[in-house]
Structure 1
Amino acid sequence: MVQLVPGPHTPVDYAVLSYSWGDPSTMPPAEWARIKGAGTKTLNGQPVPERLNPFCMRSLPETMQDAITITASLGFPYIWIDNVCIPKGTDWDKEAGMMHEVYGNAAFTLIASSSTKATDRLLRDRLAWRDRGQAGPLREQWWLYDAEMPLERVRFEPPVAKRGWTLQEERLSPRVVYWTAQRWYWSCAECQVAEGGEPVKPVPQSQDPEPAPDCVSGSLRRSPQRFLSLCHTSDEDHLHSEWLDIVEAYTPRDLVAPQDRFLAIAGLAVRFYNAKAAHGGSVAGTEEYLAGLWRDDFARHLAWSVTAAVDSRHNLQHVAPSWSWASLPLRVQVRAKVPFTPAKHFEFIAVEHAEPLSTVPGAGLSDPKDEDPALTYLNRGRAVEERGRAAKVVEVQGRFRRFISDDAAREVSWESIERNRGGGRTGFDFSALPGQSIYARNLWDGRILSRDAHCGEVVGQLDYLASGVGGKAKSRFAPYIPEGAEKEIVCLEIGS
């Protein structure tokens, strides 16, 4: 038997469950209704008595049942599960901004890494023979042993890692247990270890490793607690770099409700701002967070690009402005962490807010010293995040130029100039076009090239494919550049 209890006034040890609800389009309606039905209903604004009194654990989906069993077996009497502990009708915007507290204060977060939906079991027979074995010597004979899957793959490959909400659930957690079908994995700021293995120290904060193309056992790139560790330091440069790493990890993920684009990382944004404010970092009142970008390093955050152009029909420009990565469709990979030096002529001027000030205490532009010190970071951080979601227009100053500067530039096909140089490398050959200004566009991946007659070529990356809806732009404000409009592209210098 379990029951829902109010949060105690004194600190207690509790666990948190991070899991995937599942894709409603791939399961029977009755199964999805059972998952949704596990939520706590309210009566007159309060949880129904059925949940405040002991009730049968079997009424919950299997992932939740097993998470409760695992937590209790480890000696923890409390567990927080979103679908149960956030009653229906609760202000979800407010709750989303508090996720850094829910996960940050937990004894550990249990991530259901082997589950595709909330009705999957965590506790099941271990079928080790399904894993690829490796041969090892034993008393001059050979035997087979189970190869350990590295933590990097456990973190980024399972279904739960494709869900947008689980990114902040992992990175806001000081301690994480990854539960898979074959073994468990542990990660904290001090070490990472797989069941039956030896602890491995994570990469130090001072190092900023790049992703490895292949992951092997023991080669752990970075700790999932790196973000929290940097929040405890005053190294703003590394903290901004970590935010861009979060962006790269977040954009390929999916959301059932696309309008939750900002809510699903609200806790991370609040924690980021609070870290900067706590260390006396550069903050600009409630205008610090701007649609997923940060004002004090705006040029660097503006330097994101897609890895390949995508279909514009599912763009989220009703959620975020076009200058934000959040306006892209879901499940799109971007590059955000790139070597970058801001342009000396680029300057952030102002932000235009179309929405009124939030009703959250601390949302106004009042001096922080006029607020209750005990609530300063909590209220202002939440206010900054909430207000930042509404940012649509920013005013900047810098140098502009046309991407295709020569009006006489001739369009050529991409295939006529690109050459394969072997080893997966490509280049360009302009020998058939001596002394000519040209431009070309790759209609498959959105790359675009401009070459002046007496200068080298410049290659850009468009966000969207040319075709768009029906092959033609319905208005001049379409999110994509239609074919024939390439000479209208204008570039803003933000850095190098």
Structure 2
Amino acid sequence: MLPARILDLAPDGCSQCILGLTDTPDSGIKLVEPRPGTRARYLTLSHRWGDSHTLRLTLKTRDTFMRGIPLRSIPKTYCDAIAVTRHLGFRYLWIDALCIVQDDPDDWCRESLRMASIYLNAACTIAAHVASDDDAGFLTKSFAPLAAARVRHGTSYIQDRGWVFQERGLSPRLLHFCAGRVLFEDHAGICTTTSWGSTQGMFHVLREGYAPLEGPKPDLADFDLAPTSWYSVVVVKYSGCKLTYNSDRLPAIAGIARYYGQLDGENRYMFGLWSKTLHVGLLWIARDTRRATQREEANPSWSWTRWPGRVGY
């Protein structure tokens, strides 16, 4: 099911590969608002915004985006994501900066609560690890051969980001663009390739169909077996991630919380803790005291979300 807004990369039925992007009067890209319940396959982008003030969906640009977005105005990281999406044969791409109205608090709040369904329902998430910001891009002409099929710390600009923690946890499949290689991750694990051009065989499952997957990857799938895993799996890992705004401490994990809450409708969510395991949730300990002055005052003092750094149990 398509999100409330999404980028249509082939509004006129064009399906050409645009790995060599050129700007034309008809870029074939526009923002659309599908009718509720519309079903189609789409990809999502997981990226680091950075400090650059690039293209954003706002109340002022909304009508323009729905008429068509010129390629010359689209930052490199988004262009690369568009290229990958079209190259794999998909028509729709969801990018948070272009599909959520950034200067409308009501729209931002509403759409942030839909993150769980947006990432869970995506065919695959493109993870732009090597893009330092929206203008950097992540596609290169060649990839140096590397051995271990894992994302190395220090080579990823998004691995320690709070919003990305949720995006990776909820996405059933991920396409990691890393320094030197491309990794494909799903429920079965991670497979690797050393060049973008050699991914043709690996991605046939995306182009020609795949077995349906229910729910997120295994690291988030055992909540119902271990009620306290919210704290040991999610809180401990997420609390060490970075956020540009401390006020995002709760919103950036709201999608995972919504998924977890669906497992037990009687378990009430309270500022990052759950009613049935409240006695465990209150036992958090601050591990990082360097940012003590940056506490999120809007959250209660008994919640780990008040603390700006890593916590433990």
| Matching residue of 2:49 | 21
| Matching residue of 2:285 | 305
CA contact (8 A) 1:189 1:229 kept: no
CA deviation profile, 1:82-113 (whole Å, cap 9, x unmatched): 11111242521211111001111000111111
Q: d(CA) in 2 for partners of 1:81 and 1:259?
A: 21
Question: Does 2:141 align with 1:125?
Answer: yes
Q: d(CA) in 2 for partners of 1:310 and 1:47?
A: 41
1:39 to 56, 59, 79: 56
| Matching residue of 1:153 | 152
Cα RMSD between the aligned structures?
2.4
Q: d(CA) in 2 for partners of 1:248 and 1:103?
A: 22
CA contact (8 A) 2:149 2:190 kept: no
Structure number with greater CO (CA < 8 Å, separation at least 6) is: 2
Shift of 1:19: 0.2
Q: d(CA) in 1 for partners of 2:48 and 2:133?
A: 5
CA contact (8 A) 1:244 1:301 kept: no
CA deviation profile, 1:41-97 (whole Å, cap 9, x unmatched): 336xx931x211233223111100100000110000100001111124252121111
Q: d(CA) in 2 for partners of 1:191 and 1:79?
A: 24
CA contact (8 A) 1:174 1:228 kept: no
CA contact (8 A) 2:163 2:253 kept: yes
Q: d(CA) in 2 for partners of 1:314 and 1:54?
A: 41
Q: d(CA) in 2 for partners of 1:261 and 1:86?
A: 19
Q: Could you list the runs of 5+ residues in structure 2 that have no partner in the other structure?
A: 1-26, 196-215
Q: d(CA) in 1 for partners of 2:170 and 2:231?
A: 13
SS in 1 for 2:222: helix
Q: d(CA) in 2 for partners of 1:152 and 1:114?
A: 11
CA contact (8 A) 2:272 2:304 kept: yes
Q: d(CA) in 1 for partners of 2:110 and 2:166?
A: 16
Q: Which has a greater percent of strand?
A: 1
Q: 1:109 to 1:311 in 2, by over 3 A?
A: closer
| Matching residue of 1:245 | 233
| Matching residue of 1:314 | 294
Q: d(CA) in 1 for partners of 2:118 and 2:80?
A: 20
| Structure label with greater radius of gyration | 1
Q: d(CA) in 1 for partners of 2:77 and 2:186?
A: 23
Q: 1:311 to 1:271 in 2, by over 3 A?
A: closer
CA deviation profile, 1:267-303 (whole Å, cap 9, x unmatched): 11111101223xxxxx25xxx1111111101122222
Q: 1:150 to 1:305 in 2, by over 3 A?
A: farther
Shift of 1:308: 5.0
| Matching residue of 1:417 | none
- Report percent identity of matched pairs: 29
Q: 1:242 to 1:184 in 2, by over 3 A?
A: farther
Q: Could you list the runs of 5+ residues in structure 1 that have no partner in the other structure?
A: 25-31, 129-145, 198-223, 278-282, 337-496
TM-score (norm 1): 0.50
| Matching residue of 2:4 | none
TM-score (norm 2): 0.77
| Matching residue of 2:244 | 256
Q: d(CA) in 1 for partners of 2:151 and 2:83?
A: 26
